Amino acid sequence: MSEHEHGHHHQHEHDSGHGHSHEHGGHHGGEDLAKAQAAEEEQAHFDEVLHAFLTYETDIVDALSRRERNLRRVPGLISLLPGGEEVQQKKFEALREAARKNQNFFNEIVKNSSNKGSLSRVPDPGAQVRNLGKVRSTLAQCAREWSEEGSEEREKSFAPLLSWLEKYLDAGPDGDKRVLVPGAGLGRLLTEIVGRGYSCEGNEFSYQMLVTSDYVMNVMHSSSPTHQLEIHPLRIPDASATEILERRKDNKATMSMCAGEFLLVYGKDEAKWDAVVTCFFIDTAPNILDYLQVIYRSLKPGGIWINGGPLLWHWQSSEPRATRDDTAGGRDPRYDSSIELSWEEVKGLATSVGFEFKEEAWQEVGYNTNATCMLRSVYRTVQSVAIKKA
């Protein structure tokens, strides 16, 4: 049976904090003060995230009320809509009920969190708006990773990477092959890898993802309903983490999740991993060379890097300086230093770093698509396997 560790407690020798390492010269008193301040900032950020989970329903109901008011502001408009007043009233009632059920889900996530601080603290309004947006996207990510409805996306995004992992790295009977998954999200890919007999560590920076994955993977053993608005009920998980891990008889592989920013957490790793699997991850790099060098250095000689995803370059910005603000009220410098390359350029750079590419495929992959929605996100993704030359 797999050892199932998750959240901030893990089997990795790196600091399990959220990735903001602070080095200060001077005497120990100054260092202690800096560490205390950093810890306080981290706790404040975590509390803001939990506060957003707890106020999800209020935010949704406010938005629904605005929509309903705007409909009623135009005389006679509702009576012209299919079904008239009765249908509209039932629709808004159903939407509010869906929000209530989702709030119950988020309440359980917060209750399960082992790192609750002072939830009475009122968050910064700007941070609250951003965090509420991330809470809504977390619901969509639950659908993608842990619902039956997300199985088609997972089949296109995850299955080829898992197939290559099994082709190029034999798991063996002892669970001693070590795989790293940066940008692990809600942990489904991580779980599928461990279910195939590999010991695997996921790495995630987002607190929303960390606390939700902790709940879904460690607490939810049967499916429960959540709702995506407009009303689309889903049940998660389609298979519990325990069920996935037990698909392999006598599974000795271990599982862990490490919180933190990828470069800070793994930047000093030397030849520790048999494989690194990146899915919809490498384009989050402000400087892709940094990611490639850390992946290469962290792999054992002959280790494999399996990648899948688009190149949207998260820090790319064509907006004027004054319009792109970060949480501190100033422009994040990563927008001004982002390096954006084509796949051929990334591939050439990786080859220069020391990788030898073995296979490559292109595939159109949806991301958090809803079959009933008129807008769907479909990406042309590249999937590849590369070997660290010994």
57-84 pLDDT, tens per residue?
Answer: 999 999 999 999 999 999 999 999 999 9
Could you read off the pLDDT of 4-63 as tens digits, one per residue?
A: 333 333 333 333 333 333 333 444 567 788 778 777 888 888 889 999 999 999 999 999
Q: Which of 154, 232, 228 is nearest to 191 (CA)?
A: 154
Q: What is the model's pTM?
A: 0.84
Could you read off the pLDDT of 238-289 as tens digits, one per residue?
A: 999 999 999 999 999 999 999 999 999 999 999 999 999 999 999 999 999 9
Does the pLDDT of residue 229 top 70, yes or no?
A: no
Q: What is the DSSP letter of 93?
A: H
Which of the two residues, 110 and 375, has the higher pLDDT score? Answer: 110
Q: Which of 272, 268, 269 is nearest to 301 (CA)?
A: 272
Question: What percentage of the chain reaches a pLDDT higher than 70?
Answer: 82
Q: Write down the pLDDT at residue 34.
A: 79
Q: How many CB atoms lie within 10 A of CB 345?
A: 13
Q: Do residues 28 and 189 lie in contact, with contact meaning Cβ atoms separated by under 8 Å? A: no
Q: Write down the pLDDT at residue 316.
A: 67
Six-digit token string for 179: 């795989």
Average pLDDT over residues 362-389: 89
Q: Which of 175, 58, 160, 209 is nearest to 383 (CA)?
A: 160
Q: Write down the pLDDT at residue 40.
A: 80
Q: How many CB atoms lie within 10 A of CB 11?
A: 12
| Residue 322 binned pLDDT confidence (cut-offs 50, 70, 90) | very low
Sign of the dihedral defined by the CA atoms of residues 174, 293, 165, 18, in that order: positive
